Structure 1
Amino acid sequence: MRHAFDPELAAALAMSPEVDISDLAAARTAQAAELAGTVERADSTGVTVGLLRVPGPDGAELALRTYRPLDGRGPLPVLYTMHGGGFVLGSPDVDHDENLDFCRELQAFVVSVDYRLAPEHPYPAALEDCWTGLSALVGRSAELGLAPDRIALRGDSAGAGLAAGLAMLARDRGGPRIRLQQLHSPALDDRLETPSAREFTDTPIWNRHSARLSWEAYLGTGVPGGAAVDRLAAPGRASAADLTGLPPAHVTVMQFDPLRDEGIDYARALLGAGVPTELHVLPGTFHGAGMVVHAAVVQRAHAEAVAVLRRALGR
């Protein structure tokens, strides 16, 4: 390997699944089979896992997977999460283990939205699903025992791009007030013009080719890189005026990730717009390194994420 990966992460690479979204049907089948076992083995001690169905923006039902701490005292703060998967893969199963941990450690009501996937449902379907789910939670906060003024957003990869777009959408549509946007390895810029996007063509899990296919599926063939792409679809395109008044941000990027520099650029843009922002670059890491849960750098990143969320949610 030509990249200086963290030794613990490098040792796990041989057992890590390849992600090839050029054959999307096969990728979805393989991921679903892998995640089924992960969910079955998950430790749900101290957490009640549920399913909340709400009317979706397309007339169909939108599913929200919920995590409630057994000993939680209401009204509970809310962590609203959006899974990764390049806009084309995934379900709430992707971050199931992590959401169980967040629920226990934060004693918060955690929600993972099962948003529609591209290319069958291109932008803005996924973002509108995320907005619809968030709005439903706020509307039913009294019934569910939630604190609608203590909400944080968290996303990974494409989910972090959705979280960034949702933070802007919530501001533009008059609320709810978001306490924190936590963006992990965010996919933010369809142009793929940063140094890291150009350099990392051979990195594990995710690379420039995969990122290009992902944006083509989400925005439409021939659309990425064009002048008409909406800032809510690709928040990396937002101007300083677009970013003013957004909630505080906690941005984490991986050293050997094509998405690294767009995350750094976004954090700098937020700071320039007066948004309180923390930025962390994790050394020796690659996109999706969080799956190696025993690695010290991954555990450190998780502990930091919990600490930041705890402060934001008043826990």
Structure 2
Amino acid sequence: MTATIARPPYDPELAQTLNALKEMLPVTVTADMIPALRTMTAGRSTAELAIGDRPIEHQTMVIDGFDGAEIEVSVLRRRDHTTATAGVYYVHGGGMIFGNRFTDLGQLAGWVDEFDVVGVSVEYRLAPEFPDPYPVEDSYAGLTWMAAHADELGIDPDRIIVAGASAGGGIAAGTVLLARDRQGPSVLGQMLFYPMLDDRDTTTSTHQYEGIGIWDRGSNLTGWTALLGERRGTDEVSIYAAPARAEHLGGLPVTYLDCGSAEVFRDEDVAYASALWAAGVQAELHVWPGGFHTFDTMAPNAALTTRMLDARITWLRRLLNTTEEMA
């Protein structure tokens, strides 16, 4: 008889969403599904859909990525943007293997509209065709481009915030570590939404959510293997690819971090927040009870989603207001 695995239950409202999604999304993503997932996400993610009727202009820029190869970034600005304001650099999710710079761009567009920040979203190259270090190095190249072109973009280079979700949260964390270690662009703060930080597959939460939910343990192994190949789980993985491996987090900017209690990334995200505190970094952590991975995008009208998005925007507003007062 197979023992029942103890795990935090899903929020009842979110559990209904999961049941409705069973026929639409695979529980476990395998390598052979990558082409179909890319096609599906490309069709559902565009600048027009993300911006909607907000008074925002979108511009595509071609920049030099890792090794000088060309990559694209999207720049979002309010149409009435005139003076230099804070900039938010956004890194999309997709398990390192799918998604594009328009994925979840609606959240960034909302910040651009409300706070008159300038948003930049990067089209980093995806694994397995472009394994580590391509994604994080492309992301770092985009951040350095944004800082170098702050004047023409209408950005205050001392008020750049790096944000990312899921795999993008992990890449964002790695990008900020690179900026610290290379004495690169100054980063005011980082926002890491249920970030993918640890390739080692040793936490309790990764084993609790295997064969269940959204982006389960098997999916996570698929993503990390695509990124790292045979190096996954070995001592040959850098802290920039898997930031959970970083032993020294001092010197990092103020951080916002969230996750659900009912997802694979819970324990590595909580551990990262604890490591930040141990290094003397100010960090705010939210673990949303009963939340599955990416529940905010899958269940945008759920009560728990409202609470999550309110917490994010409250943190961002406080950071922006504080730095405006200090200017």
Give the TM bin, normalised by the shorter chain: over 0.9
1:236 and 2:244 are equivalent in the alignment: yes
1:271 to 277, 283, 293: 277
Answer whether contact 2:118 2:153 (CA < 8 A) is retained.
no
Residue 4 of structure 2 corresponds to which residue in structure 1? none
Q: What is the aligned counterpart of 1:179 among 173, 188, 191?
A: 188
Match of 2:11 among 6, 18, 21: 6
Residues 252-310 of structure 1 deviation map (CA, whole Å, 9 limit, x = unaligned)? 01111111100000000110011111111001110010111111211221121112112
How many Å separate the matches in 2 of 1:225 and 1:197?
14
Would you say 1:79 and 2:88 are equivalent positions? yes
In the alignment, the residues of structure 2 paired with residue 269 and residue 225 of structure 1 have an alpha-carbon distance, to the nearest angstrom, of 20
Partner of 1:304: 311
Is contact 1:39–1:93 with CA below 8 Å preserved after alignment?
A: no
Is the aligned partner of 1:295 residue 2:302? yes
Q: Which residue of 1 aligns with 2:113?
A: 104
Corresponding residue SS for 2:77? strand
Alpha-carbon deviation of 1:3?
6.0
Counterparts of 2:8 and 2:252, CA distance in 1: 35
Q: CA deviation at 1:124?
A: 0.7
**Aligned-partner SS, 1:250:** strand
- 211, 223, 226: which is aligned to 2:234? 226
Q: What is the TM-score normalised by the length of structure 1?
A: 0.93
Secondary structure at the counterpart of residue 67 of structure 2? coil
1:203 and 1:257 in contact (8 A); partners too: no
How many residues of Structure 1 are paired with residues of Structure 2 in the alignment? 310
Secondary structure in structure 1 of the residue aligned to 2:175: helix
Instruction: Report runs of 4+ in structure 1 exceeding 6 Å deviation.
Output: none
- 8 Å CA contact retained: 2:8, 2:261: no
Identity %: 37
Partner-residue secondary structure (3-state), 1:58: helix
After superposition, the CA RMSD in angstroms is 1.8
Cα separation, 1, equivalents of 2:250 and 2:106: 34
1:32 paired residue among 39, 42, 64:
42
| Partner Cα separation in structure 2 for residue 34 and residue 146 of structure 1 | 29
What is the TM-score normalised by the length of structure 2?
0.90
Corresponding residue number in structure 1 for 2:127: 118
Structure 1 gaps of 5+ residues are none
Distance, in Å, in 2 between the alignment partners of 1:271 and 1:183 is 15
**1:21 to 1:84, Cα distance in 2 relative to 1, 3 A:** farther
Contact 1:152 1:309 in 2 (8 A): no
Give the SS at the match of 2:218: helix
Q: Equivalents in 2 of 1:147, 1:43: separation in Å?
A: 26
| Alpha-carbon separation, structure 2, partners of 1:67 and 1:182 | 18
